Amino acid sequence: MITSNDFRPGVTIEIDGQVWQVVEFQHVKPGKGAAFVRAKIKNLETSAVVERTWNAGEKVQEGHVDRRQMQYLYENEGMYCFMDTETYDQIELNKESLGDTVNFLKEEMNVSVMLFKEKVIGIDLPATVNLKVIETDPGIRGDTATGGSKPATLETGYVAKVPLFINEGDVLTIDTRTGEYTGRA
């Protein structure tokens, strides 16, 4: 058990048999009345995000999420295959359970697979990935007054907004949380 005062982004809690992760929280101490904690939490199984409040110091069941290092192997007919790097066991996950993370998966990439009660609930990607530009329009000099951007298709099929100077074949660093271009690799 943990208290609502222990909330931090990334902490997992269990509510009604489901595991939730604290996305953001705010400790509120009004001038009149008792203090409380307002938190935005994300259901790790359904990806639903809700806002909830607790009294300050209220006990909450901690959600024990196991994390296993696995390597992404390949995709076959909408099923994504991962291999445990210690036991060499393989699991397959469908696109729905992975969500937007499929936009950043490259073969042989190491990821952290999250399990709750021996059931896979999602994967954690590295903060950034390096992806090669497969297709983009050539940038035209003088196109805009303040930089500008254009769409670029990356090797995973994901389309990102990039600056005009990016060309086909460039390797870019992409933030996996926001999907935004952060620089050249």
pLDDT digits (tens, 9 = 90+) for 110-168: 888 888 888 887 788 888 888 898 888 886 665 555 667 888 898 888 888 888 888 88
In one letter, which amino acid is 7?
A: F
pLDDT in tens, 38-63: 999 988 877 788 999 999 889 999 88
* Spatial CA neighbour of 42 closest among 59, 58, 65: 65
CATH number of 128-184: 2.40.50.140
Structure letter (DSSP) for residue 135? E
CATH 2.40.50.140 occupies which residues in the chain? 66-124, 128-184
Structure letter (DSSP) for residue 32? S
Q: Which residues of 63-87 are buried (b: 16+ CB within 10 A; e: fewer)?
A: bebeebebbbeeeeeeebbbbeeee
The predicted pLDDT at position 36 comes to: 92
Q: Are strands 171-175 and 128-136 parallel, antiparallel or unpaired?
A: antiparallel
What pTM was estimated for this model as a whole? 0.69
Topology at the third CATH level for domain 2-60: SH3 type barrels. (2.30.30)
In CATH terms, is domain 66-124 a member of 2.40.30.30?
A: no
